[in-house]
Chain A
Amino acid sequence: MAKQPPRRPKLAVWKFASCDGCQLTLLDCEDELLEVAGHLTIAYFLEASRATLKGPYDLSLVEGSITTPDDAKRIQRIRRQSRTLVTIGACATAGGIQALRNFADVDDYVRQVYPRPEFIRTLPRSTPIRDHVRVDFELKGCPISRHQLLEVIAAFLAGRRPSIPEVSQCMECKRHGTPCVMVTRGLPCLGPVTQAGCGNLCPPLGRACYGCFGPMETPNTASLAGWFAASGTDSAAIRDLFRTYNAAAPAFRRESEAQARTTSSHADDA
């Protein structure tokens, strides 16, 4: 993170292709929100206020992925105005659920959805912010964790590195005392290849991890997918497990493509 600037640094929150859930996490900080506002000047945050201040900004939080030619230009302008730029959420860090288009022909979608497709200017792929500009820190999650967002802001204000573990979701299950749903129930769970941080939301409710926080630091997706297959999950279902909010994160994309090849070779055999 950049060195702490003098008084009341200016905060900006930017939106690209996304659902707004991650920037709402900032408003959702309730108890801490006034404290955040006390230490940062909220200079640009349209979800919170129409009043905006001109740049440059000390800290920019960027939500959403790049899906249009205009946005590809806009992120360049934002980067130039931002001393520190932090991307927040699965869209900004991995391309989001809308990156499912990356596995298809976007023109087909446009023709099916819009009566006048010639008005639509869109890019063939949804891409994370780091594919376009330098990013100082990536905060993963769909949506991001409120606790982790505050840690990133506190670290920025203190001029230290944020402490955001990149270990597996399994570590959260074990710290919380949640018995493994793979082991006790045979569920195909993405926890072992997914980064911790959500607060262990699903497994305590008996649901396997969806992978909302994207790949952990060293994801061995091939081994996990092999175990799913040996336990009776077919390759199409395994492919779909890896194709959700972080479908275009490289580790998940490669595994879903490998599963798709298996699926189509099975289809050829049939």
Chain B
Amino acid sequence: MRTHTSQAADRPAAAVIGDDGLDALIRALTEAGRRVLAPTEHAGAITIGDINGLADLPRGRGDVQAPGRYRLTETEDAGWFAHGPTAEGWKRFLYPPEECVWRAEAKGASWREEPTTTDDADSADTLALLGVRACDLAAVAVLDRVLGPEGAADPRYRARRERAVIVAVDCARPGGTCFCASMGTGPGAGDRYDLRLTPLADDPGSRFLVRAGSAAGADLLARLPARPADDAALAAAEATLNAAGQAMGRAMPADAEARLKRNLEHPRWNETAERCLTCGNCTSVCPTCFCSEVEDRSSLDGRRAERWRLWDSCFSVRFSYLHGGSVRESGAARYRQWITHKLAWWHDQFGTSGCVGCGRCITWCPVGIDITEEVAALPATAAAVPA
């Protein structure tokens, strides 16, 4: 990944920008030939999409989020980034839902491998991710471990990731299903950003403290109309984060990993399975769920073959299909697999939790199953296993 420096030596550590700075930032990213992705309003939700300028960013649009419920609202101040977690994270753009990973064509009696559209790193989109919340930045860090050089080293993920510029925007208004504070992932952005914007508490919608996290970020910052940050600005940024940390709609029990590992046979699994639709919404909106399947496709004449990687879900029956049948037939087994992997086995496998506290699996579950409530429902000490 790109070398990140704490700050460029010859530049101020932090600056303050307003609307004109934000506008200049989007322009600078666009003019550099980047595909700029940012929160946009689409079909009754704020979700990630392409933007061409500041006018495409939602202004004065907030949201109310609850289990199985999302509604857009008008906010009192008419500012930018007034919303909670977007309908989905950035996974779609770094690790698309459907991707051709291999292609071959028959030539006479033999086969010749053909390039796919994403084999060549130069042909990958050069992305700018603008408005990445702390939870989603933590999710990118998780994906880096899983799919980056430390993990499975997916070349397509790496190509997109290495070329992407990330502009984080700290969260001033957590949603009703948010719990990043209890996961230690927010509301302020950690590392791996190029630029970090923090809304100032006295004017959260249109004035931002800006800090560079990489040389590329420092170069960008130098091109923006900005004034150096004074103590008042630093305090106002701190005040935003303190207030946001207190405004979390939910909290994950601190001993989630131990609770799950101790209660693998708890009756709660069957109770939850009565509600669980096994529809796969939670894994799809989860910014760290990376499971995929590969599907081989052949043309009618059998002379062309392709292999596609597709998002999969541990809630599908086929996901655990081995010779003779599926390992996890019941909904209870599948829900348990998801939540124990996310919150417990992930630690063993990757050294972190797989959950970043964005709350999307709660908001976007059609029947409002709440991951924090499910963990809290398990006893903190070993349960008496019913006979």
Contacts and interface: CB of A to CB of B under 8 A. Distances in A.
A183 B300 contact: no
Contacts of A192: 277, 279, 281, 366-367
B300 A168 contact: no
Contacts of B275: 220, 223
Interface in A54-110: none
B301 interface: yes
Interface residues of A, number: 46
Nearest to B334: A218
Interface stretch (A131-139, A159-167, A253-261): A159-167
Interface stretch (B8-16, B259-267, B309-317): B309-317
Contact of A227 (B42, B68, B71): B68
Contacts of B139: none
A238 interface: no
Contacts of A151: 297
B300 A223 contact: no
Interface in A180-199: 180, 182-186, 189, 191-193
If over half of A's interface residues share one DSSP class (helix, strand or loop), that class is named, otherwise mixed; here it is helix
A9 B145 CA distance: 50
Contacts of B297: 151, 154, 163
B155 interface: no
Given A166-B317, A182-B68, A218-B278, A204 B298 contact: no
Given A175-B98, A191-B279, A184 B44 contact: yes
A226 B280 CA distance: 19
Given A166-B318, A179-B45, A174 B276 contact: no
A179 B301 contact: no
B343 to A, nearest CB: 21
Interface in B286-302: 295-302
B92 interface: yes
Interface residues of B, number: 46
Interface string A146-158: 0000110111011
Interface stretch (A19-27, A31-39, A41-49): A31-39
A193 B315 CA distance: 13
A124 interface: no
Given A154-B299, A177-B47, A227 B311 contact: no
Contacts of B47: 177, 179
B363 interface: yes
Contacts of B277: 168, 170, 192-193, 220, 223-224
A31 to B, nearest CB: 11
Interface in B39-55: 42-45, 47
B219 to A, nearest CB: 32
Interface string B158-194: 0000000000000000000000000000000000000
A184 B98 contact: no
Given A167-B280, A171-B280, A220-B277, A180 B366 contact: yes
A234 interface: no
A98 to B, nearest CB: 29
B97 A175 contact: yes
Interface string B178-216: 000000000000000000000000000000000000000
A263 interface: no
B367 A184 contact: no
Interface in B320-348: 331
Interface in A188-235: 189, 191-193, 204, 206, 216-218, 220, 222-224, 226-227
A122 interface: no
B19 to A, nearest CB: 28
Contact of B298 (A154, A183, A222): A154
Contacts of B299: 154
A183 B311 CA distance: 22
Interface in B83-99: 87-88, 92, 97-98
A178 interface: yes
A153 B366 contact: no
Contacts of A157: 300, 302
Contact of B276 (A160, A166, A220): A220
B300 A174 contact: no
Contacts of A158: 298, 302
A175 B283 CA distance: 11
Contact of B317 (A35, A36, A180, A217): A217
A198 B299 CA distance: 21
Contacts of B284: 170-171, 174-175
Contacts of A150: 300
Nearest to A185: B44
Nearest to A155: B298
A10 B297 CA distance: 23
B323 to A, nearest CB: 14
B112 interface: no
Contacts of B88: 174, 177
Contacts of A168: 277-280
5 contacts: A32-B300, A154-B298, A154-B299, A179-B47, A191-B279
Given A163-B297, A180-B281, A184-B72, 14 more contacts: A35-B301, A153-B300, A157-B300, A165-B316, A170-B277, A170-B366, A175-B284, A178-B43, A179-B43, A179-B45, A182-B366, A184-B44, A218-B317, A224-B366
Interface of A: 32, 35-36, 38-39, 150-151, 153-155, 157-158, 160, 163, 165-168, 170-171, 174-175, 177-180, 182-186, 189, 191-193, 204, 206, 216-218, 220, 222-224, 226-227
Interface of B: 42-45, 47, 68-72, 87-88, 92, 97-98, 274-281, 284-285, 295-302, 310-311, 313, 315-318, 331, 363-364, 366-368
